[in-house]
């Protein structure tokens, strides 16, 4: 069974380059669908690397990045309980 998947023209170009490199190294042409199948298998077996690739945050955070994150909260002068926060965030009564 085959399914069409849309990719950018840049990704298509890179897939063709990868196919050409594999052809040179292996001495035979690997179909693009087999290359994509292999890449998906590699991605699922290396999920941590894939998560790092797509992650916007780079870990561990530097000291300056940690200070920046910790400076974000501000005191609005309103006392809020954990129960109220759970109600707003999760729309449920907290089970404390």
Is pLDDT of 85 > 70? yes
pLDDT of res. 16? 97
Whether 15 and 33 have beta carbons less than 8 Å apart is answered as no
Domain boundaries, the chain: 9-90
**Percent of the chain residues topping a pLDDT of 90:** 51
- CA neighbor of 18 nearest in space, from 35, 2, 33, 3: 35
Enter the pTM of the model.
0.54
Please name the residue ranges forming H helices in the chain. Answer: 9-26, 32-45, 47-54, 63-70, 82-90
Is pLDDT of 94 > 70? no
Whether 94 and 83 have beta carbons less than 8 Å apart is answered as yes
Is pLDDT of 30 > 90? yes
The length of the chain is 96
């Amino acid at each position: 069974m085959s399914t069409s998947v849309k990719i950018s023209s840049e990704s298509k170009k890179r897939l063709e380059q990868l196919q050409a490199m594999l052809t040179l190294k292996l001495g035979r042409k690997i179909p693009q669908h087999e290359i994509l199948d292999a890449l998906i298998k590699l991605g699922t077996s290396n999920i941590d690397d894939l998560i790092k690739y797509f992650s916007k945050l780079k870990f561990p955070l530097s000291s300056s990045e940690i200070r920046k994150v910790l400076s974000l909260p501000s005191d609005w002068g309103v006392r809020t309980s954990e129960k109220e926060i759970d109600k707003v965030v999760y729309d449920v009564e907290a089970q404390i």
